[in-house]
């Protein structure tokens, strides 16, 4: 039985890194509806994934043309609306995690399924953090809300493939303390 191909759905490459991984609990931004979200950092040399994303954005634009047109006389050009694929070098020049990479912010009202490289569900929250590498199943769709028109990215599922250096400024307990016997700090 063959699967029906959805031109607006993409599975990212294996070197995609997850940042701002809010995948266990939905969080509200600016008092909006709580959502699960992740920023997907895609190396610029992963041309295959980037091309699939660009094609999916075009497919979402075409499929959602009626929504994008709204009450206007014409559909805005794809080049003039907001799209989710962003350049890390241009938008986050001071963040080395985004250097030589594209990024996409994906979100959903529903919790993503999260599995390991063998497709076993990940239950331990500490296994998934900002900095891990894995693939993401994402879908693109057109929107027209309060005068804002564009293509957005929905988060479907995540597959962790390997650990990475944690992103963010929080130090681990192991790096803050040493495993010494009694110290003189109580004196």
- Asked if 13 and 59 touch (Cβ cutoff 8 Å), the reply is no
Q: Name the residue ranges covered by the structural domains of the chain.
A: 9-167
10 Å CB burial of residue 51 (0-12, 13-18, 19+) is exposed
Q: Which two tokens stand for residue 36?
A: 């699960």
Sign of the dihedral through C-alpha 45, 46, 52, 54:
negative
For residues 14 and 170, give the distance between their C-alpha atoms in angstroms, rounded to a whole number. Answer: 26
Taking only the tens of pLDDT, the chain with its 187 residues reads 556 689 999 999 999 999 999 999 999 988 889 999 999 999 999 999 999 999 999 999 999 998 998 888 889 999 999 999 999 999 999 999 999 999 999 999 999 999 999 999 999 999 999 999 999 999 999 999 887 899 999 999 999 999 999 987 655 566 666 655 555 555 5
**Domain at 9-167: CATH code:** 2.40.50.140
């Amino acid at each position: 039985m063959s699967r029906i191909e959805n031109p607006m759905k993409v599975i990212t490459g294996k070197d995609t890194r997850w940042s701002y991984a809010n995948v266990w609990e939905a969080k509200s931004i600016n008092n909006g509806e709580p959502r699960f979200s992740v920023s997907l950092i895609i190396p610029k040399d992963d041309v295959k994934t980037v091309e699939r994303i660009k094609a999916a954005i075009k497919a979402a634009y075409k499929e959602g043309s009626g929504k994008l047109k709204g009450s206007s006389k014409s559909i805005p050009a794809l080049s003039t609306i907001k799209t989710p694929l962003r350049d890390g070098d241009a938008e986050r020049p001071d963040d080395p995690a985004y250097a030589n990479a594209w990024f996409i912010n994906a979100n959903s009202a529903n919790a993503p399924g999260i599995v390991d490289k063998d497709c076993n569900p990940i239950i331990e929250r500490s296994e998934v953090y900002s900095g891990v590498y894995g693939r993401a199943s994402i879908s693109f769709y057109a929107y027209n809300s309060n005068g804002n028109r564009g293509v957005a990215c929905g988060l479907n599922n995540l597959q962790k493939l390997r650990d990475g250096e944690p992103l963010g400024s929080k130090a681990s307990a192991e790096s803050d303390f040493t495993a010494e016997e009694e110290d003189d700090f109580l004196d």
